[in-house]
Amino acid sequence: MPTFDIGPDDFLLDGERMQVVSGALHYFRVHPDQWADRIRKARLMGLNTIETYVPWNFHAPEPGVFDLDGRRDLGRFLDLVAAEGLHAIVRPGPYICAEWDGGGLPAWLLADRAVGVRRHEPRFLDAIGTYYASLLPLVAERQVTRGGPVLMVQVENEYGAYGDDLVPERQKYLRALVDLVRGQGIEVPLFTCDQANDEMLERGGLPELHKTATFGSRTTERFEVLRRHQPTGPLMCMEFWNGWFDSWGLEHHLAPAEANAADLDDLLAAGGSVNLYMFHGGTNFGLTSGANDKGIYRPIATSYDYDAPLAEDGTPTAKYWAMRDVIARHLPVAPAEELRAEYVAARSAPVLDVELTTHVPLADVLPGLLRAEPRTYPHVPTTDDLELWSGFAVYRTGLRADDAVLSVAEVRDRAVVLVDGEQVGVLDRGSHTFAVALPARAGELTLLVEDQGRVNYGPRIGEPKGIIGPVRTAVRTLEEWRAGALRVEDAPALLRAAPDAAVTVDGGGAAVAGLHRGTFDSVAGADHFLRLDGWTKGLAWVNGELLGRYWSLGPTHTLYVPGPLVRETGNELVLLELHGAASRRASFVGGPDLGVTEQ
């Protein structure tokens, strides 16, 4: 029977010292047909382990739903890790952060304000118990003790950075999680993970759980801090930050390969174990990206390239080769011959233009995307009131000629303001724009409200979304509303199902707000990079798959299109443009453009 243990100084695999050299690879940010390729490249770089978070809300998008198929097939992902001869570390939360929508916590659960977020509260713990019972059996059967790849499982995540509960109450919560995890047959070592900070390590763990730290440099100093709180056992950096994430409106982050490699060399030379965060970042497909709010709301970009060793499209970077050279100085790596046989130098992606010649104006799109008939409210509702956990909603009410100005207490996170179908402004949380001038006429006010990602870190986790009242004009409070949730994921189907609503135009000219469609032929199975210069903000689909958000705000100028989505002929590109574009043309370009950097 295989074993994995925490020894006095080292991790022990079947009784022999194991220096864990792991890399973060999130199955939920990679197309399933590309999992095997990314895992193989991890082994070829010298990694012996793959780490992944598990986002609870990805598997449980609605109450009573738990999905383990397709993109959510964690079991298949772990089997591919094992087939490549690698081990695995699983981090199931319940909270993961990961720049993911809501940090992985289901919005439908936290909509009940009585639920205690990340604390010892019965409703929260009961929900976690249901989650673990649905997820952890597949992890349990893949533990190293049962012949599988899983070495360790994490309990919570960076808990020392959250909340102000006293340590005994915090430990009561963590021990409840341990009991729930062990109750699902998890027998491998459990661990916690916190920043290499005395206060956080003290607040975030348990004496009986192995502690690990997160940092990206100054290994000796960070390990000294960790050792104060972990007197025996192996030292491990569970998140070695070799890059960083991007937020809309800021620069693209880079971390120099040479500095990363030198810091990794120091860590391995000290005998420490490591998990590169990230080895391969991937993409926040669909509407899955989260947000940070430290006084200014910053939604996370669609690309999660992270300046990782393996780029968003799976191309090994200079950092990949530099880190492989470092690992080879400390541990066996794949033979150079195998590496040369497997590695294919980056090729230019197909280059072509697409004319989006069919469109439906935004005002005509909204009724067709409603999930149900709008409901009437005597007050402005949140999107949580609408049972909308991600995406877009429509709010409507009547205006008088003397209203003059629309003012909201807060918008979470952005709203296009229309009067009788005509755009008159935008409410925006990021810029604190909470007022818009109105035309001097009576009419119907429509707010198209976008949830740009639920906060994934800090005290604002779990907050409601939508329009936060009161909503006022120059002369009164607006209290009578009709509101409904949209099914934006169905936008391409709407175009196909309602051809009479679509307008076909010749190429050229400006594009109005609304749905736009074009078709193209290309190289089947080839990765593509969609560039939307001149378009403002919206969503993009290829062959019915929602790639994610685009925004002229940047930094990202291209959207990654995984090769498995592309066929030889008859590909469909659909855009939901919220404002308008300089032309009806989109482009596929030869490579990614992730934007300006601070260097």
Span 40-61, pLDDT tens digits: 999 999 999 999 999 999 999 9
Contact criterion met (CB below 8 Å) for 406 and 417: yes
Q: Is residue 346 domain-resident?
A: no
Contact criterion met (CB below 8 Å) for 542 and 586: no
pLDDT band, very low/low/confident/very high, at 346 (cuts 50, 70, 90):
low
Domain range holding 401?
371-486
Quick one: 400 and 529 in the same domain? no
E strand segments, 3-47: 4-6, 11-13, 16-18, 21-25
Quick one: 97 and 53 in the same domain? yes
* Span 190-240, pLDDT tens digits: 999 999 999 999 999 999 999 999 999 999 999 999 999 999 999 999 999
H-only helix segments in 498-563: none
Q: What is the pLDDT of residue 73?
A: 98
Contact criterion met (CB below 8 Å) for 291 and 413: yes
* Alpha carbons 262 and 283: distance in angstroms, whole number: 27
Q: Is residue 597 domain-resident?
A: no
Return the sign of the alpha-carbon dihedral for residues 59, 177, 159, 12.
negative
pLDDT value at 176 more than 70: yes
Q: Give Cα 199 to chain centroid, integer Å.
A: 28
For 138, phi then psi, to 5°, come to -70, -30
Pick from 341, 281, 286: nearest CA to 315: 281
Which CATH number covers residue 450? 2.60.120.260
Rg (CA), the chain: 25
Q: What is the pLDDT of residue 120?
A: 97
Quick one: 79 and 207 in the same domain? yes
Quick one: 21 and 125 in the same domain? yes
What proportion of the chain, given as a percentage, has pLDDT over 70?
A: 97
* DSSP sequence for 55-103: -HHHH-SSTT----SGGG-HHHHHHHHHHTT-EEEEE--S---TTBGGG
Contact criterion met (CB below 8 Å) for 78 and 147: no
Q: Is residue 599 domain-resident?
A: no
pLDDT value at 23 more than 90: yes
Which residues belong to the active site? Answer: 158, 239
Q: What is the pLDDT of residue 419?
A: 98
Which of 438, 471, 486 corresponds to the end of one domain?
Answer: 486
Which whole number is the average pLDDT over 174-179?
A: 98
Q: Is residue 543 domain-resident?
A: yes
Quick one: 40 and 64 in the same domain? yes
Quick one: 466 and 516 in the same domain? no
What proportion of the chain, given as a percentage, has pLDDT over 90?
A: 93
Quick one: 463 and 442 in the same domain? yes
Kindly report the average pLDDT of the chain as a whole number: 95
Q: Give Cα 484 to chain centroid, integer Å.
A: 25
Q: Is residue 595 domain-resident?
A: no
Q: Is residue 331 domain-resident?
A: yes
Quick one: 99 and 162 in the same domain? yes
Instruction: Return the structure tokens found at 40.
Output: 């193989």
Quick one: 421 and 332 in the same domain? no
Quick one: 503 and 467 in the same domain? no
Q: Is residue 366 domain-resident?
A: no
* Tally of structural domains, the chain: 3
pLDDT band, very low/low/confident/very high, at 496 (cuts 50, 70, 90):
confident
pLDDT band, very low/low/confident/very high, at 465 (cuts 50, 70, 90):
very high
Which whole number is the average pLDDT over 227-255?
A: 97
* Alpha carbons 207 and 189: distance in angstroms, whole number: 13
Q: Is residue 204 domain-resident?
A: yes
* Alpha carbons 288 and 27: distance in angstroms, whole number: 13
Quick one: 426 and 277 in the same domain? no
pTM above 0.85, yes or no: yes
Q: What is the pLDDT of residue 509?
A: 80
Antiparallel, parallel or unpaired: β 236-241 and 273-280:
parallel
Quick one: 181 and 96 in the same domain? yes
What single letter denotes the amino acid at residue 598? E
* DSSP sequence for 413-473: SEEEEEETTEEEEEEETTTTB-EEE--SS-EEEEEEEE----B-SSTTTT---EEEEEEE-
pLDDT band, very low/low/confident/very high, at 114 (cuts 50, 70, 90):
very high
